Amino acid sequence: MPRHVFITGGSRGIGRATAEAFLEEGDYVTIISPNTVMTAVRELRKKFPERIRCVEGDISDSDAVPQHMNKARAMLGPIEVLVNCAGIFTPNTELTTISSWNKVIATNLTACFLTSQEVIGHMMHARRGKIINVSSIAGLSYSKLGSEAYTVSKAGVIALTKHQAATYGPWNINVNCICPGQTQTDMLKSCYSPKSDDEEMLMKNIPMLRFARAYEQASVIVFLASEAASYINGAIINVSGGQQ
């Protein structure tokens, strides 16, 4: 039975791969993006014109989140699967302003709380629902590429996942989290020069000696949203090729 899947950060990287994976499964998908005319979005619209909708907006704008999600519900009905995939990062402490710190926390962590707050009421009433948050291995330790703000925000996503899983499990709501390692996305490419010492250093820390592909992260998210994962709740899944 097709479901309505709402994905933040769905216009690029892991989010874009996740949107396509759910569409391939036959689900209906709404993605929210600051720029809904991006090439990736146009490609998905062309391939799945009847089952994808786009909402233009900034997920870090807390006042606007309810409006964005109301638009999604008006187009495709109640949201049955929520995927929080939006994420940004800043440089380290000496280069981080309070404005950039707040932006990272708002996008990476607060948005997860706000979007889940918008869907949990309906999920409780329906006595079913799936929420999958995308954290990072940085949230389990620290980031060699990102900043303190990024690491703190991703650790917060893990804590939020565990708390919501324990709180809403009695309503048959599964809340889980994946922690991707380095994944071939535009965000990662912005952190280093290809074939540089930085790339070699990153590869050495990965037992599989390669970066993940976005679809490999997406496949785990789709699994967690499936009935095959009906008894998985509060899981923090490391998808990093063995990197700790």
Catalytic residue numbers?
A: 150
Pair 9, 85: CB distance under 8 Å: yes
Question: How far is residue 176's CA from residue 135's CA, in Å, rounded to a whole number?
Answer: 10
Question: How far is residue 128's CA from residue 174's CA, in Å, rounded to a whole number?
Answer: 8
Pair 83, 8: CB distance under 8 Å: yes
Q: How many CB atoms lie within 10 A of CB 33?
A: 24
Give strand ranges (E) for the chain.
4-8, 28-33, 52-56, 81-84, 129-134, 173-180, 236-239
Question: How far is residue 231's CA from residue 242's CA, in Å, rounded to a whole number?
Answer: 24
Pair 75, 68: CB distance under 8 Å: no
Question: How far is residue 203's CA from residue 129's CA, in Å, rounded to a whole number?
Answer: 37
**How deeply is 94 buried, as exposed, middle or buried, from its count of CB atoms within 10 A (0-12, 13-18, 19+)?**
exposed
Question: How far is residue 168's CA from residue 153's CA, in Å, rounded to a whole number?
Answer: 22
Query: What's the one-letter identity of residue 124?
Result: M
